[in-house]
Amino acid sequence: MPRNQQILLDNRPQGEATASNFKLVATDTPPLQDGQVLVRHHYLSLDPYMRGRMNDSKSYAASQPLGEVMIGGTVGEVVESRHPKYAVGDKVVGMGGWQEYSVVDGNTPGLLRKVDTTHVPLSHYLGAVGMPGVTAWYGLVKIIDPKPGQTMVVSAATGAVGSAFAALAKARGCRVVGIAGGPEKCRYATEELGFDACIDHREHPDLKSMARALKEACPDGIDGFFENVGGHILDAVLLRANAFARIALCGMIAGYDGQPLPLQNPALILINRVKIEGFIVSEHMEVWPEALKELGTLVATGKLRPRESVAQGLAAAPEAFLGMLKGKNFGKQLVKLV
């Protein structure tokens, strides 16, 4: 029975989330029952959606219960198995949560997925070839439906979703413009991730300035926008949107901490005949196989080289998570547990 460190949600944030909302505990992993599998997590994924779960208010998913292990995607290795489908040594991806081990029922479909690490590093199954990658794919392919030559914009451009979005949009012949925080990220976006241009939102903290920067970076207007952030960026994009632009609304991280951030001029949705659609990728499992196949090929062929920020050890997870919410990470934020 290996000892299992876990991080629980101890109390809910009042405004900004803090490390004191979490609590580190240790327990023994329980003995396996028939059909169960013990997975040792190699990496834990940290994602913006988790901040929404910490609140008690209505959201698209049940809020995270207090006193329970924080929800989260994990990749790891089967270390003990009482299920014929899983053997010790199998690499698996699942929703193990913020802990070092998880006991998983091998008979429940969808809880565990075996992955091949020949061409794709294990950690990427939490990023480019996992939920964030499929998120970018769904927003681009199913909502934005880009045409060659059109201009696509994505916020949080160097993150796991943004970098996958860029590779997928470039593969479809689009001009791709990113929005990221700071000159280093912007340089990385254009030099390594294939963005045609990148706007530093720290240099454009208000609507007017951001709209001007978008006009310069998108001389033919904006046809598709993948929104990870919310706030004045969305307002500015609407000002520069072409007729029949499509906006995939994936994250509103800017408003997670407190008062809702209004959209300043919704009449622009009508004026520009824009479609805005909110979505959650876990509700569209039917696209995952097709999306993962394309994303895996992009990674295996070097066309998508996602960057990772890796924190060491479970105890580092809360600070890494809070830093990510402030944009301190650079690329996909992970916690290495082994």
Nearer to its own copies, 48 or 127 (CB): 48
Question: Which of 130, 230, 296, 327 touches its own copies by CB under 8 A?
Answer: 230
Which stretch, 9-17, 148-156, 261-269, 296-304, contacts its own copies (CB under 8 A)? 261-269
State in angstroms the smallest separation of the CB of 127 from its own copies. Answer: 21
State in angstroms the smallest separation of the CB of 244 from its own copies. Answer: 9
State in angstroms the smallest separation of the CB of 240 from its own copies. Answer: 11
Which stretch, 28-36, 109-117, 256-264, 287-295, contacts its own copies (CB under 8 A)? 256-264
Measured between alpha carbons, how far is 121 from 129 in angstroms, rounded to an integer? 10
Measured between alpha carbons, how far is 243 from 9 in angstroms, rounded to an integer? 45
Nearer to its own copies, 39 or 179 (CB): 179
CB atoms within 10 A of CB 63: 15
Nearer to its own copies, 181 or 251 (CB): 251
State in angstroms the smallest separation of the CB of 153 from its own copies. Answer: 17
Both structure tokens of 111: 């809880």
The alpha carbons of the chain give a radius of gyration, in whole angstroms, of 20
State in angstroms the smallest separation of the CB of 134 from its own copies. Answer: 16
Nearer to its own copies, 3 or 273 (CB): 273
By CB neighbour count within 10 A (0-12 exposed, 13-18 middle, 19+ buried), where does 5 fall? middle
Question: Which of 16, 60, 114, 147 touches its own copies by CB under 8 A?
Answer: 60
Tell me if 133 sits within 8 A of 292, measured CB to CB: yes
Question: Which of 14, 117, 265, 312 touches its own copies by CB under 8 A?
Answer: 265
Q: Is 262 in the site for its own copies (CB under 8 A)?
A: yes
Q: Which of residues 170-229 bind its own copies (CB under 8 A)?
A: none
Measured between alpha carbons, how far is 254 from 259 in angstroms, rounded to an integer? 10
Q: Is 58 in the site for its own copies (CB under 8 A)?
A: yes
Question: Which of 251, 296, 306, 327 touches its own copies by CB under 8 A?
Answer: 251
Both structure tokens of 40: 């040792």
Q: Which DSSP letter does residue 196 get?
A: S
Nearer to its own copies, 106 or 251 (CB): 251
Which stretch, 118-126, 171-179, 183-191, 247-255, contacts its own copies (CB under 8 A)? 247-255
Crossing angle for the helix pair 207-217 and 232-240, to the nearest 10 degrees: 50
What is the rounded end-to-end Cα distance, in angstroms, of the chain? 17
Q: What is the helix (H) or strand (E) element at residue 246, kind and residue range?
A: strand 241-249
Q: Which of residues 267-306 bind its own copies (CB under 8 A)?
A: 267, 269-280, 283
Bridge partners, residue 5, by sequence: 26
How many CA atoms lie less than 13 Å away from 297 in the CB half-sphere?
A: 7
Q: Is 221 helix (H, G, I), strand (E, B) or coil?
A: coil
For binding to its own copies (CB under 8 A), which residues are involved?
58-60, 230, 234, 243, 249-252, 255, 260-267, 269-280, 283
